[in-house]
Amino acid sequence: MADTIKPHKKGDTWDGVEFHFETENNGIYSDMDLTGYSFSAKFKTSPQGSVIWEFSTTNDKITCPVPTNGKIYFMPQVIQYNPQRYIFGIEMTAPDGRVTTITDGANPLVWTILPDIT
């Protein structure tokens, strides 16, 4: 299973990553309007495991500065998580309370934290 986010070394500053959401109508794709949405990404080592850490719009580790362009950003930060392979899903909550998970346990998103050997 390939990493969704490029692997990164523990202790180094990570540049963050962008995710782009689109809607489809009769084969025509357009940017999804994310106005009023909230997002979270919960990182685990297995689908049944406990949440190790979370990025969210609540803790400002996910931002959506221009909601009409359909993009969210996992913000840059120094990575201090234990070196290993993590799986995660992105959960979006609409203004009306509907929750959509962008992935599931069968097809998780993946990020590997590498050891710092210096």
pLDDT in tens, 48-103: 899 999 999 999 999 999 999 999 999 999 999 999 999 998 999 999 999 998 87
21 found inside a domain: yes
Element (H or E) spanning 110, and its range? Answer: strand 109-114
What pLDDT shows up at residue 32? 95
79 found inside a domain: yes
97 found inside a domain: yes
b/e map of 2-25 (b: 16 or more CB within 10 Å)?
A: eebbeebebeeebeeeebebeeee
pTM: 0.89
9 found inside a domain: yes
Q: Is the pLDDT of residue 3 over 80?
A: no
117 found inside a domain: no
Number of domains in the chain: 1
If you average pLDDT over every residue of the chain, what do you get? 92
Angle at 15 between CA 32 and CA 38, to 5 degrees: 35
14 found inside a domain: yes
What pLDDT shows up at residue 37? 98
118 found inside a domain: no
Q: Confidence class of residue 2 from pLDDT cuts 50, 70 and 90?
A: low
115 found inside a domain: no
The more confident residue out of 106 and 118 is 118
Question: What is the domain extent for residue 73?
Answer: 5-110
What pLDDT shows up at residue 104? 56
Cα Rg, the chain, nearest whole Å: 15
